[in-house]
Amino acid sequence: MKSSTLGTPPKATNYPDSDGQPMADNTLQWDSIVTIRIGLETQYQDDENVFVASDLLWYAKEGYPKVRTAPDAFTAFGRPKGYRGSYKQWVEGGIAPQVVFEVLSPGNRAGGMRRKLDFYDTYGVEEYYVYNPYRNVWSGWLRGADGRLQAIPSMTGWVSPRLKVRFEMSAGDLELYHPGGRRFATYLELANRGEQERVEKERAQERARKEKERARKEKERADRLAAQMRALGIDPEA
């Protein structure tokens, strides 16, 4: 990791919750960010010590409000879930987000992306991934033995050491796969899946209601038959 040469911290202690920049420049970038964010949240929904966020300002050094960035998505292991206006690393036990994602837009420039890489290298990110939705291509960097982020030679079939998520590249849409092999779902797919589950639940409830009604009528019929047999002096239990 690079050493910091920031010098004496300024007196300013105001850390805005917004940098005034849009989360996404277009729907393609937005859809990719949402898919990554929802996929990560789904994967860690039952782990209270994994925090997932999108476009949340990360302040890396106390006293330096300009030392910040807003990753398109990130995960911070060892940090509890819950609301945050921003991610202040010194408040979060000194823990930097370990895995960061960026999704390219037409407005991204090479210089800006180099600065992002430098920021993540300097402030402790373990894994950094960049997705180009226009070419459906992933790039990645992993912190090496020398303490620096090193480019991953090939992202096809790459499995994140932290997330255990598998990366694939094809002519189709964004492809990330959970450890169990299930692909990260889009928001629309999740919404449709939820609607389908709701319909199936209602159908199951209706089947259960009809079965209960059938059993009730069958019992009533049996009770009537037993009463008739007793009226004739016949023991229905015999």
pTM of the model: 0.74
The more confident residue out of 171 and 92 is: 92
Between CA 236 and CA 238 the distance in angstroms is 6
* pLDDT top residue among 73 and 1: 73
For residues 236 and 165, the model is more confident at 165
Which single residue is written with the structure tokens 């990560």?
40
pLDDT score for 227:
83
Task: List pLDDT tens digits, range 144-195.
Answer: 999 999 999 999 999 999 999 999 887 667 889 999 999 998 877 876 554 4
Residue spans per domain, the chain:
27-185, 186-238
Q: Across all residues in the chain, what is the average pLDDT?
A: 84
* DSSP track, 137-195: EEEEEEE-TTSSEEE-S--TT-B-TTT-PEEE--SSS-EEE-TTSPBPPPHHHHHHHHH
DSSP reduced 3-state for 237: coil
The reported pLDDT for the residue numbered 123 is: 96
pLDDT tens digits for range 198-208: 445 555 565 66
Q: What is the CATH number of domain 27-185?
A: 3.90.1570.10
